[in-house]
Chains A and B, each alone.
Chain A
Amino acid sequence: MEQLLALFSDYTFQIVALGTGFLGLLSGVVGTYATLRKESLLGDALSHAALPGIALAFLLIGKKDLVYLLGGALISGLIATALIQWISKKSTVKFDNALSVVLSSFFGLGLVLLTHIQGLENANQAGLEKFIYGQASSMLLSDVQLLLAVGAGILVLVLLLWKELKVFAFDPVFTQTLGFQTRILQFILSAMIILTVIFGLESVGVILMSALLIGPAVAARQWSDRLGVVLILAGLFGMVSGVAGTFISSIGRQIPTGPTIVLVLSLIVMISLIFSPKRGLIIRWVNQRRKKKAYIKQIEEKQERSEKYAR
């Protein structure tokens, strides 16, 4: 108990929990739009493809300055997503295949470069592999401050463009005929997804970042049919996962933050899928049985009646 209290009052823990909690909130909100627009897989590609960018940025600059590393991540992520779009548009290869080819080759390149870096004699080299699984404890106050500033900007934009993003996510073609430049809306949406993913790389890691984007949205959708409520719930689920995951990984030693956050999130997703009062597995099963029984009863009654007439 005392240990827990000590942890909660620990300055580093507070900073890190603030960071991952806010990241979860942001992922929930942005991820809801990404899944509604069916673009969540692009987030997956972006985060995996960020790894070689991180490694190359380190090789070029020679130090672990987060801004440069994330800059490298951004560039290689963008190259990969552009490559995917280009391949699926210009060649006969379908989008999902193009995505998995590009995603895994970039990720493979990233792993090769990281292994190479680990063999270098450079005191700075240690710790780059945190980007694979995420290590939230390495978040600095300045990292969290940057995340808060950019994230707040994104949330304000979501509020300002509430109706535009809603109608665009629902029906982009109609949105265009209303006179809105859908290219601008698409750019804003993509930029929000990209920024969220890039900010998640340090604490959640390249492999599991897309889970933090998709999970809260999927869970939240189970509980409401209103976009506003879904967004708030998704933000809440993401935040709880972030804080709880950070907490658990801080208690033990050598527990990476990313997987822990995603495990907490998976639990929320699972509960939502099973127990949601409208869309959950249980209620659907109950309804199905009820209907079946009602039909059987109807048919039996009909048979009885016709038998009576026959007599």
Chain B
Amino acid sequence: MSEEAITLKHLTVAYQSVPVLWDVSLGFKKGKMTAIIGPNGAGKSTLIKAMLQLIKPLTGEVAFSLNDHQMAPYKEVKQQVAYVPQNSSVDWDFPTTVLDVVTMGRYGRLGWFKRAKKADKEIAAQQLAKVGMQTFADRQISQLSGGQRQRVFLARALAQEADIYLLDEPLAGVDMKTERIIMNLLHELVAEGKTVIVVHHDLQTVEEYFDEVVFINRSLMAAGSVSSAFTDKNIEETYRTDQNVGERSAQP
């Protein structure tokens, strides 16, 4: 049995009074590449955001286990957890350059008030080279294509030099070249012993890309290694019904 990097216990999340995630208990294996899959609106992004305390869960616990922490709350391990949001979440006309955005990945380690130093810029430039974007360093970010934006976001997360990487649909709407670059880098991270968790939408590539799979549709439908849990039965059950969790139990 391999260890768990993130352990969820009875995680329940609601927007206003509508439950989006119902009683999810789950462990993400350390040093593995895990896909979170499920239909649109199943609560995949919500799951990630709740793990990062970006949304306050109604109940439940999220605990992180790293080399020097065991079952620690998120706030103690923030610097070790990198997050790649969906790239539609920011204003790409913001007056800043590609290298600048990647350097932002260093800000957490710097802490309040300290400026980014030359070493930070160098690390940022290295990450930019890893995603094949070094020639774009001085470009304004609005000039990038969707795939290039996604690669910049990944480079920013890499610059954090974290142990756990959480990515929200990094392959949505990107070109083949970007997909290959991103997946190669994620596999490199796993080879270095890091934990990678990806919200994924393409069932065709799950077996090729991932070690572990988690099926979500409002509640946990199934989880396990791709070889054992990625079955037609689990896929069908997850995608078959619109799950309306909580409504029954909320009514007397």
**Chain A residues near B (Cβ < 8 Å):** 36, 38, 160-164, 166-167, 169-171, 173-180, 221, 224-227, 229-230
Contacts and interface: CB of A to CB of B under 8 A. Distances in A.
B96 A166 contact: yes
Contact of B83 (A162, A163, A177): A177
B118 to A, nearest CB: 15
Nearest to A174: B85
B140 A225 contact: yes
B228 to A, nearest CB: 32
Contacts of A38: 91
A167 B112 CA distance: 12
Best-surrounded residue of A163, A167, A177 (most CB of chain B within 10 A): A177
Contact of B107 (A164, A169, A173, A226): A164
Q: What is the interface of chain A mostly: helix, strand, loop, or mixed?
A: helix
Contact of B101 (A160, A164, A170, A179): A170
Contact of B94 (A163, A170, A178): A170
B90 A179 contact: no
B53 to A, nearest CB: 8
Contact of B110 (A163, A173, A176): A163
A166 to B, nearest CB: 7
A178 B90 contact: no
Interface in B3-21: none
A179 B108 contact: yes
Contacts, number: 76
Contacts of A225: 95-97, 140
Contacts of A177: 52, 54, 78, 81-83, 108
Best-surrounded residue of A171, A174, A225 (most CB of chain B within 10 A): A174
A173 B107 CA distance: 14
A169 B108 CA distance: 15
B97 A176 contact: no
Contact of B104 (A170, A176, A221, A224): A170
Contact of A169 (B94, B97, B140): B94
7 contacts: A36-B95, A161-B113, A164-B112, A170-B96, A170-B104, A225-B95, A230-B95
B89 interface: yes
B240 interface: no
Contact of A36 (B83, B91, B140): B91
Interface string B114-146: 011000000000000000000000001000000
Contacts of B110: 163
B237 to A, nearest CB: 32
Contact of B95 (A173, A176, A179, A227): A227
B78 A224 contact: no
Contacts of A176: 52-54
Contact of A174 (B96, B104, B111, B116): B104
Nearest to A227: B95
B79 interface: yes
A176 B52 CA distance: 9
Which A-B residue pairs are the 8 nearest by beta carbons?
Answer: A178-B108, A225-B140, A179-B78, A177-B83, A167-B104, A171-B90, A179-B108, A227-B95
Contact of B113 (A160, A173, A174, A230): A160
Interface in B153-204: 156, 160
Contacts of A179: 78-79, 108, 111
B112 A180 contact: yes
A226 B95 contact: yes
B89 A178 contact: no
A164 B112 CA distance: 7
A228 B147 CA distance: 27
B167 to A, nearest CB: 12
B115 A162 contact: yes
A166 B91 CA distance: 13
Best-surrounded residue of B53, B112, B113 (most CB of chain A within 10 A): B112
Nearest to B81: A177
Nearest to A177: B83
Best-surrounded residue of B82, B89, B95, B160 (most CB of chain A within 10 A): B95
A173 B94 contact: no
A177 B89 CA distance: 14
A173 B115 contact: no
Contacts of A163: 104, 107, 110, 115-116
A162 B115 CA distance: 8
A113 B108 CA distance: 50
Best-surrounded residue of B52, B89, B94 (most CB of chain A within 10 A): B94
Given A163-B115, A225-B140, 4 more contacts: A167-B107, A169-B94, A170-B94, A176-B54
Contacts of B85: 171, 173-174
Nearest to A32: B95
